[in-house]
Amino acid sequence: MDPTSCMKGLVMAGSQFRNNRSDANILQLQRQIELMISLTMKGRSVKFFNPQQILPMECLSCLCDVIEDHHTPAALSHKTIVLLNNLASYPDIRDAMHTTFNFTSSLAIFLQYHTQSPGEPLVLQENVKSIYRTLIAYVSHSNQSIVVYSFSILSNLCLNEEIGEKVFNAKNIYQTFQLIFNIIVNGDSSHVRGFTCDLFIGLLKSPKIQQSVVIYEHFEACLMQVLHLITMDTESATKIFELLLSFCSVNGLRCTVCRALLNTPSLQDPDRYQPQIHQRQITEPFFALVHWAGQSVETHDQAPLFALDLLKEIFEEVIDSGLSAQLSPRTDVVVPMAVEQLTPPCDTDGSVLKLKCLKTVKALDVLLDILSIR
């Protein structure tokens, strides 16, 4: 059977399995997965499995559904893990598994369920301590990707468990913050930087982690390093904005982010920013933020939307904390950019039109906040 037929067969069998978990459908899905395992074994070409194409993405979606379903039979789960392991050997596929489907979280849920289920025949239940020890050992690995993946699995698997109290306790958490910030700032690649931002965003969902990061003594210095990334790393901009927005969602951190962006001498100089200047020539984080907010969603997707969200957070903090008398919000720079986004979109397809309309709404929100500044 050719690879395309195998992928179509897997997607169809996965759909039938979701609709009816009969023995026949389980067996059919398992057979299709076994075929894919043989096609993706080490040494085989996987050019047919291009994560930028629809059919391979549908296959990954199917596999994600299988491992997230607690009622999936053990034998089928095992085959699915084997296939995922094969696919994860290829960088492009591995990136899609992480960025599009968040398989780290899915695998953590899978591990957590199967290590806690009484009578579960999977080897995982017997070796859970070994899994934890292995993951903790990988935190000191020289490969940054392995470090981030290990932390991601640990946080998803045990952050709220007893072992999580030991891994992310008050003694270790500040070292963890420093390690994460170091990888974000000095990451081997934009992919590693993006994965690390996702890890930090996930950690910040924990109230205990939030409390720890608020009192982390090096946070402001690390924050400034992260902010400067938006002046030079175009590939990671979206993830960096997501991380900054997560900081703003933590009680006590939004003011720090606001001051870090606005409280610089160059912001007081009206001649330091020219709207048409190329992004790579901008060295001031706030001006880079304004630049990103004005970019097209057709070429930069979510980054301009997140940039506008961050501007909204900054101006709301200026209003709520009465900082306008202390900090220059540089509305002279932001207003022209925001007004420019109000031009009605035309000649675009449905998905792009939706993004452009959303951008217009966000620009209006920013302008409304600016009008409230006194």
Which range of residues forms the domain containing residue 45?
A: 1-101
Q: For the whole model, what pTM was predicted?
A: 0.75
Q: What is the pLDDT of residue 11?
A: 94
From first to last of its 374 residues, the chain has per-residue pLDDT tens of: 689 999 999 999 999 998 888 999 999 999 999 999 999 987 788 889 998 899 999 999 999 889 888 788 888 988 998 999 899 888 888 888 877 887 777 776 676 666 555 555 444 555 566 777 888 888 888 888 888 888 888 887 777 777 777 778 877 899 999 999 999 999 888 888 988 998 999 899 989 899 999 999 999 999 999 999 998 878 889 999 999 999 999 999 999 999 999 887 766 566 665 554 555 567 889 999 999 999 988 888 889 999 999 999 999 998 888 877 777 778 888 999 999 988 877 766 677 788 888 999 999 999 999 888 76
Q: What is the pLDDT of residue 170?
A: 77
Q: Tell whether 3 is covered by a domain.
A: yes
Q: Tell whether 28 is covered by a domain.
A: yes
Write the secondary structure of the chain as one string of H (helix), E (strand) and C (coil).
CCHHHHHHHHHHHHHHHHHCCCHHHHHHHHHHHHHHHHHCCCCCCCCCCCCCCHHHHHHHHHHHHHHHCCCCCHHHHHHHHHHHHHHCCCHHHHHHHHHCCCHHHHHHHHHHHHHHCCCCCCHHHHCHHHHHHHHHHHCCCCCHHHHHHHHHHHHHHHCCCHHHHHHCCHHHHHHHHHHHHHHHHHCCCHHHHHHHHHHHHHHCCCHHHHHHHHCCCCHHHHHHHHHHHCCCCCCCHHHHHHHHHHHHHCCCCHHHHHHHHHCCHHHHCCCCCCCCCCHHHCCCHHHHHHHHHCCCHHHHCCHHHHHHHHHHHHHHHHHHHCHHHCCCCCHHHHHHHHHHCCCCCCCCCHHHHHHHHHHHHHHHHHHHHHHCCC
Q: Tell whether 71 is covered by a domain.
A: yes
Q: Tell whether 22 is covered by a domain.
A: yes
Q: Tell whether 300 is covered by a domain.
A: no
Q: What is the pLDDT of residue 142?
A: 84
Q: Tell whether 232 is covered by a domain.
A: no
Number of domains in the chain: 1
Q: Tell whether 19 is covered by a domain.
A: yes
Q: Tell whether 45 is covered by a domain.
A: yes
